[in-house]
Amino acid sequence: MEQSVDIVVVGAGIAGLVAARELTRAGLEVLVLEARDRVGGRLLNADLPDGSPIDVGGQWVGPTQHRIHELIRELGLETFPTHTAGRHIAELGGTRSEYTGAIPHIDPRTLADIVRARSRLDRMAAAIPPDEPWRAADAERLDSQTFETWLRRAAWTRRGRAYFRSVTEAVFAAGPEDLSALWAGFYIGAAGGLDALIDTAGGAQQDRVVGGAQAIALAVARELGERVVLDSPVIGIEWSDAGAHVRSHRGVVSARHVVIAVPPPLASRISYSPGVPGDRDQLVQRMPMGRVIKINVVYPEPFWRTDGWSGQANSTSRPLGTVFDNTPHEGGPGVLVGFLEGRHADAGARMTAEDRHALVLEDLAGYYGPRARDPLAVIDHDWAGEEYSRGCYGAFATPGTLTRFGEHLRRPVGPLHWAGTETATEWAGYMDGAVESGKRVAAEIARPDRQGPVRA
Ligand SMILES: Cc1cc2nc3c(=O)[nH]c(=O)nc-3n(C[C@H](O)[C@H](O)[C@H](O)COP(=O)(O)OP(=O)(O)OC[C@H]3O[C@@H](n4cnc5c(N)ncnc54)[C@H](O)[C@@H]3O)c2cc1C
């Protein structure tokens, strides 16, 4: 393939596809080079035993995620509410509570600790400017410590700390000791607070996409047609101020601009000639991916509902610390989805599939009784094993990264422009953030006078 276009987009995840859609609408000639044999990146549908789709990647959308909702509407897709009716289960420090609403029954001392620390966390997050977190008044202090160190000062009880560890694992697929406190605060602030991140009704887990979230990527790719080329991992980019030559296994494509819409650690696996500036490379060296194994467990019917449970369970002591009802919109089989996150994903990935499934079923039986031990199928997906994701839910910044190199997250390098959910200023790490980044990068190229974050 020897070709010349206005813009090459590297990566057909939501960010790359949205960028390509916007640039095409602006009248530019665009080619999307995607490494995999499919579009969607971190969005992926698998088949349930009856052939209906189930999400093994990103899936939920929340009510304040306006950009992804707008895209879903434009594509003629629909959402439906996550099943929440019934009693939720929370196991905190070995004590089980069954509850409805948002707050589990926990002892007053732990509850007071959690409430106070959460409000401190929300205040810390709200004070961080989401487009320039490194300019927060407290940036240096926050970025010189891990989130674990920050939490140890904020939460005083053993159970309170266990709660925040498990919330961190659920949100970042990493432990609090892995993250910069400034990154944690930025990420929480970019979502509008901790409630918005962890709640089902009213929060990021409120709704699901009919047909699975990969349907969003598939629909945009259909619009783009032959502009999306699969099985084309980009291995090298030669660039100058005049443009770039983008090399994949299929040949070389020349373009005036290149949008690199892949997660930061994968952007650094592309070879650049000349090399990107040291600051940009130092940045991505310090932004590893979280790690998650997502597991859908399929039953003949959602038996937990008949027993009065919602299917939503959390535990600070089980590896499968977060569980939701993931039964398809149309009904059919019952599905519970759970996550092995951070260090639990390390351990899960080192097991045989058989041992991992046994561990998962044991935890589900702990939540919902012995019937959980008898599924029709277990569908698990280890995202760190995927060559073109290498982890999930997203990349995070380690201490010292944002204050030293953060301003290079979105700063173009000659004709190279950076997109992907990690570059978003609202809902970074989520599909919504990926849409924001695709729109922002398209505006950066099509309307260079309008640099900076695009507000929908
Ligand atoms: C298990 C899981 C659960 C999640 N849950 C949610 C959720 O409920 N809600 C939510 O909003 N978000 C969720 N997320 C996060 C969400 O999926 C991502 O934020 C979003 O999909 C990221 O889109 P992106 O386009 O920025 O990146 P990606 O989807 O990672 O797209 C990057 C693309 O680039 C391609 N690529 C990589 N390297 C190259 C190369 N060298 N050449 C060419 N192509 C390349 C990749 O194959 C990929 O297609 C979840 C993610 C996972 C994995």
In a domain, 455, yes or no: no
Predicted local distance difference test score (pLDDT) of residue 1:
64
State in Å: Cα 119 to ligand 1 middle: 31
Residue nearest to atom 35 of ligand 1 (CA): 11
List 384's β-bridge partners, or say none: none
Q: Which residues line ligand 1 (CB under 6 A)?
A: 10-16, 33-36, 41-43, 57-60, 233-234, 261-263, 266, 270, 292, 294, 383, 388-389, 392-394, 420-421, 429-432, 434
Give the number of other CB atoms < 10 A from CB of residue 5: 17
User: Cα(14)–Cα(233) distance, rounded to whole angstroms?
Assistant: 17
Counting from 1 in the atom list of ligand 1, the atom nearest the Cα of 294 is: 1
- Bridge partners for 340 per DSSP: 293, 320
On whether both 303 and 370 belong to a single domain, the answer is yes
Residue that terminates a domain, selected from 160, 194, 228: 194
**Residues 330 and 375 both lie in one domain:** yes
Position 89 in a domain: yes
User: Would 126 be classed as within a structural domain?
Assistant: yes
Residue 218 tokens read as: 């598939």
Q: In terms of domains, do 308 and 405 share one?
A: no
State the DSSP H helix or E strand holding residue 117, giving kind and residue range, or none if neither.
Answer: helix 108-126
Claim to verify: residue 399 and residue 371 sit in the same structural domain: no
CA 183 to chain centre: 15
Give the DSSP letter string of 23-81.
HHHTT--EEEE-SSSSS-TT--EEE-TTS-EEESS--EE-TT-HHHHHHHHHTT--EEE
For the domain that residue 176 is a member of, what is the CATH number? 1.10.405.10
Per-residue tokens: 122: 């929300």
What CATH number corresponds to the domain at position 226? 3.50.50.60
The residue whose CA is least distant from atom 1 of ligand 1 is: 57
Instruction: Count the domains in the chain.
Output: 3
Question: Does a structural domain hold residue 139?
Answer: yes
Query: Which domain range does residue 178 map to?
Result: 107-194
48 within domain boundaries: no
Residue 54 forms part of a structural domain: no
Closest approach atom of ligand 1 to CA 234: 42
Ligand 1: distance of its center to the CA of 36 in Å?
12
Torsion sign over Cα 250, 252, 254, 260: positive
> In this structure, are 159 and 246 located in the same domain?
no
| Ligand 1 nearest-atom number relative to CA 42 | 29
User: What pairing do the DSSP bridges indicate for beta strands 79-81 and 60-61?
Assistant: unpaired
**Three-state DSSP class for residue 204:** coil
Residues 278 and 319 in one domain: no
- Do 364 and 325 lie in one domain? The reply is yes
| Residues with Cβ within 8 Å of residue 181, at least 6 apart in sequence | 124, 142, 143, 145, 146, 147, 149, 150, 399
What pLDDT is recorded for position 449? 57
Residues 264 and 331 in one domain: no
Q: Are residues 348 and 380 in the same domain?
A: yes
Kindly state whether residue 154 falls inside one of the protein's structural domains. yes
Which protein residue's CA is at the shortest distance from atom 36 of ligand 1?
Answer: 11
Task: Return per-residue pLDDT of the chain as tens, 456 residues.
Answer: 679 999 999 999 999 999 999 999 999 999 999 999 999 999 999 999 999 999 999 999 999 999 999 999 999 999 999 999 999 999 998 899 999 987 888 999 999 999 999 999 999 999 999 999 999 999 999 999 999 999 999 999 999 999 999 999 999 999 999 999 999 999 999 999 999 999 999 999 999 999 999 999 999 999 999 999 999 999 999 999 999 999 998 899 999 999 999 999 999 999 999 999 999 999 999 999 999 999 999 999 999 999 999 999 999 999 999 999 999 998 889 999 999 999 999 999 999 999 999 999 999 999 999 999 999 999 999 999 999 999 999 999 999 999 999 999 999 999 999 999 999 999 999 999 999 999 999 999 997 754 443 333
Alpha carbons 249 and 221: distance in angstroms, whole number = 21
Instruction: Indicate whether this model's pTM tops 0.95.
Output: yes
Beta strands in 228-376 (DSSP E): 228-229, 234-240, 243-248, 251-260, 271-273, 292-299, 309-315, 320-325, 334-341
Helix (H, G, I), strand (E, B) or coil at 377: strand
Give the residue whose CA is nearest to atom 34 of ligand 1. 11
Last residue within a domain, chosen from 355, 373, 393: 393
**Which pLDDT value is given to residue 454?**
35
Which residue puts its alpha carbon closest to atom 5 of ligand 1?
58
Q: Are residues 409 and 275 in the same domain?
A: yes
CA of 334 relative to ligand 1 center, distance in Å? 26
Nearest atom, ligand 1, residue 68 CA: 11
Q: What is the CATH number of the domain that holds 324?
A: 3.90.660.10
Q: Ligand 1 test: best mutation among 250, 262, 436, most atoms within 8 Å of CB?
A: 262
Do 264 and 398 lie in one domain? The reply is: yes
Whether residue 114 is contained in a domain is answered as: yes
End-of-domain residue from the set 164, 194, 224: 194
404 and 379 in one domain? no
Using CA atoms, how far residue 307 sits from 64, 302, 323, 367, in Å, is 32, 9, 16, 12
Q: How far is the CA of 45 from the centre of ligand 1 (A)?
A: 13
